[in-house]
Amino acid sequence: MEGRMPLLGDKFPELKVQTTHGVMELPKAYEGKWFVLFSHPADFTPVCTTEFVAFQKRYDEFKKLGCELIGLSIDQVFSHIKWVEWIKDNLNVEIQFPIIADHNGSVANTLGLVHPGKGSNTVRAVYVVDPKGVIRTIIYYPQEIGRNMDEILRVVKTLQISDTGVAVPANWPNNELIGDKVIVPPASDIKTAEERLKSKEWQCYDWWLCYKDLK
């Protein structure tokens, strides 16, 4: 992985970071837990402020999934602290998760969070990492568009579901074809394909598109 940004399926790089909750070692600090690391362009900016409020409003839902949140931008820790204070004093929302102060840009460079075509600040990136420290999802948004936190929450939920050996359809749990059901992996041989269509356990559009209730 040396010399390139991490990719899906890679181990999250070992990093020692300064945060609003003190020095942390990633991914060790979240060993055995899922975590979402998300970068934002800068403190004291309007879209980023709406995002932090939105993340905090859903923090309990993330924690119910065994998932932690950690923010990041190329700002000093003093700026983070003051911004968190401002949000609490003016918006009555207390940011309870840590924020990485990547003032020298080393973490951003390691994770590929700065895209020169979009300026020198970090873009709105999202890394979803599983309890084994493996990167499972990477999402990028431009600086001018705030993220949908319900979708990020859905990503964590569906990754956990997919780890049980099924696949998850588009727009789950409101898929246009199968609703809140999940997809059975396609058959890999003729015999299994034929048996699929006779199964009482699953429903099928065809042998390669079968689905079942989520148990």
Give residue for tokens 């199968």: 178
Active site residue 204: no
User: Cβ-count burial of 107 within 10 angstroms (0-12 exposed, 13-18 middle, 19+ buried)?
Assistant: buried
Residue-by-residue DSSP string for 12-81: PPPEEEEETTEEEEETGGGTTSEEEEEE-S-SS-HHHHHHHHHHHHTHHHHHHTTEEEEEEESS-HHHHH
Q: Which of 48, 67, 204, 210 is catalytic?
A: 48
Taking the C-alpha atoms of residue 105 and residue 127, their distance in angstroms, rounded to an integer, is: 17
Active site amino acids: 48
